Amino acid sequence: MVEAPPIMDVDTVRAQFPILSRSVNGKPLVYLDNAATTQKPQAVIDTVSHFYAHENANIHRGVHYLSMNATDAYDRARATIARALNAEFEQEIIFTRGTTESINLVAHSFGARLQPGDEILITKLEHHANIVPWQILAEERGLTLRWADVTPSGEVDLDSFQSLLSEKTKLAAFNHVSNALGTINPVKEMTRLAKAAGATVLVDGAQGPPHLLVDVRDIGCDFYALSGHKVFGPDGIGVLYGRHELLETMPPYQGGGDMIERVTMEKTTFRGLPERFEAGTPNISGAIGLGAAFDYLQSLGWEEFHAHEQALLKRATERLSEIKGLTIHGTAPEKVAVVSFTMDGIHPHDIGTILDTRGVAIRAGHHCTQPLMTHFGFTGTARASFAFYNTLAEVDQLVEAIQVVHQYFS
């Protein structure tokens, strides 16, 4: 018999997130904008604040105690993240500013080897961060950008994806989870297809680890990009996982201190991985805080909170579907707890603004996925995106607030 995962104690978890007990507009905060950014547990706040209060120093260059200590803490964070993602080597974890910078790093550095006529395959489900760097690169280097279709339920159309792969495809880049619709993409299968065609694979994982246990070796991808602020860690820090052999062959992304071996007036030689891709003083406290966030997630267990989030998704989908004139966009069978919707005759921004008066924070707009919105024929949606610290009662508060929206417009 398969054992059911233990039910997460949401009250205990919520108590670890100080911001969740505040009010907004005189109402208890119902925070449902987690796809934009997540709230931080006390463990992360304490780690960052402890670093500045007791451990602050620049890394790598110091012979003094504090600098060596900070370097150790920074390296430990890298090791924690490597383990959490099941990377083979710690050096495969490059600290960046976030998913956007991770993708731009690949576009600049890996992109330098692409030749006119080469193709990059993305999907219509992508965030602008996984579109614009490829458009810029395509323009600069005479490449062709191909777009795999999406199905009416908001899934990548695998037939379309496969049909666009050829020996010309040098890179396939797609998200693990759609921020706009919540679709979980079959990234392992997509990677297999792309690799069979000889392409290098980048997975935009901004919305992956906030909900799913990620195993980069099981997926088989070459790159996996993520943002600290979306995984309950600090902002201004992120990760590019890159396969060791591939990173080894890539030129630096930025030049400066810390990434060099030797600089002379004639020439510079570069350090090995990961320093070669981390020019300048990095976000030291951010990296350490991100390590603490992964430790925290590991202590909760992805399986436990995934089960809880699925219960939130089910309730939200059922209750919102009952509201007259409300349409849910994104109905894939495999979804994280994101519900994107429109209401007949009501602008998504009006929905968001009225919900805010009830303390309910959601996002309204195109969610940085304008090609996807255009494909479906609307300019934006209202989006409630949940995390493991949300409750079934908050789903009900969302529904009650939406009923108030109805009253405004009837």
Ligand X SMILES: Cc1ncc(COP(=O)(O)O)c(C=O)c1O
**Under the criterion CB under 6 A, does residue 206 sit at the interface with ligand X?**
yes
Q: Would you say the C-alpha torsion 299, 300, 303, 306 has a positive or negative sign?
A: negative
207 binds ligand X (CB under 6 A): yes
Element (H, E) at 343: strand 338-343
Query: Quick check: 179 binds ligand X (CB under 6 A)?
Result: yes
Min dist. Cβ of residue 190 to ligand X (A): 15
Q: How many residues bind ligand X (CB under 6 A)?
A: 12
* Chain residues 113-142 in contact with ligand X, contact rule CB under 6 A: 127, 129-130
CA–CA distance, 234 with 384 (Å, rounded to integer): 22
Q: Residue 145, exposed/middle/buried by CB under 10 A (0-12, 13-18, 19+)? A: middle
Residue 99 binding ligand X, by CB under 6 A: yes
98 or 242: CB nearest ligand X: 98
Smallest distance from the beta carbon of 130 to ligand X, in angstroms?
Answer: 6
Give the one residue of 16, 38, 91, 100 binding ligand X; rule: CB under 6 A. Answer: 100
Shortest Cβ contact with ligand X: which residue? 179
- Least CB distance to ligand X at residue 127 (A): 3
Task: Report which residue type is found at 124.
Answer: K
- DSSP output for 88-121: S-GGGEEEESSHHHHHHHHHHHTGGG--TT-EEE
Q: Which positions are catalytic?
A: 368
**Any contact of residue 96 with ligand X (CB under 6 A)?**
no
- Residue 18, classed as helix, strand or coil, is helix
User: 55 vs 222, which CB is nearer to ligand X?
Assistant: 222
- For 12, the token pair is 């205990």
Of 4-12, 43-51, 184-192, 203-211, the segment contacting ligand X by CB under 6 A is 203-211
Q: Output phi, psi for 180, to 5 deg.
A: -80, -35
Instruction: Supply the minimum distance, in Å, between the C-beta of residue 205 and ligand X.
Output: 8
Q: Is 171 in the site for ligand X (CB under 6 A)?
A: no
Nearer to ligand X, 385 or 397 (CB): 385
- Whether the CB-CB separation of 148 and 173 falls below 8 Å is answered with no
Q: Which residues contact 162 (CB under 8 A, 6 or more apart)?
A: 193
**Minimum CB distance to ligand X smaller for 91 or for 179:** 179
**Residue of the chain from 91, 123, 169, 175 that contacts ligand X (CB under 6 A):** 175
Query: Which of 129, 387 has the CB closer to ligand X?
Result: 129
Q: From the CB of 224, what's the least distance to ligand X, in Å?
A: 12
Does 227 help bind ligand X (rule: CB under 6 A)?
Answer: yes
Q: How far apart are CA 148 and CA 221, in angstroms?
A: 18
CA distance linking residue 231 with residue 390, whole number of Å: 15
Which residues sit opposite 385 in a β-bridge?
A: 33, 338
- Cα separation, 258 vs 276, whole angstroms: 8
Please state the closest distance from residue 297 (CB atom) to ligand X, in A: 17
At its nearest, how many Å lie between ligand X and the CB of residue 273? 22
Q: 185 or 397, CB closer to ligand X?
A: 185
Give start and end residues of each alpha helix (H) in 202-300.
216-219, 244-248, 284-300
Q: How far is the CB of 312 from ligand X (least distance, A)?
A: 19
Considering only 98, 233, 242, 348, the residue that binds ligand X (CB under 6 A) is 98
Instruction: Give the orientation angle of helix 392-409 with respect to helix 302-321, to 10 degrees.
Output: 30
Q: Which is nearer to ligand X, 129 or 402 (CB)?
A: 129
Task: Centre a 10 Å sphere on the Cβ of residue 67 and count the other Cβ atoms it contains.
Answer: 17
Count of alpha carbons within 13 Å of 283, Cβ hemisphere only? 21
Segment contacting ligand X by CB under 6 A, of 64-72, 201-209, 264-272, 354-362: 201-209
Cα–Cα distance between 65 and 56 in angstroms, integer?
11
Task: Please list every residue from 32 through 91 that binds ligand X, using CB under 6 A.
Answer: none
Q: How far does Cα 269 stand from its chain's mean position?
A: 33
Q: Considering the rule CB under 6 A, would residue 169 count as an interface residue with ligand X? A: no
Stretch that binds ligand X, among 10-18, 96-104, 153-161, 247-255 (CB under 6 A): 96-104
Note the residues at the interface with ligand X (CB under 6 A).
Answer: 98-100, 127, 129-130, 175, 179, 204, 206-207, 227
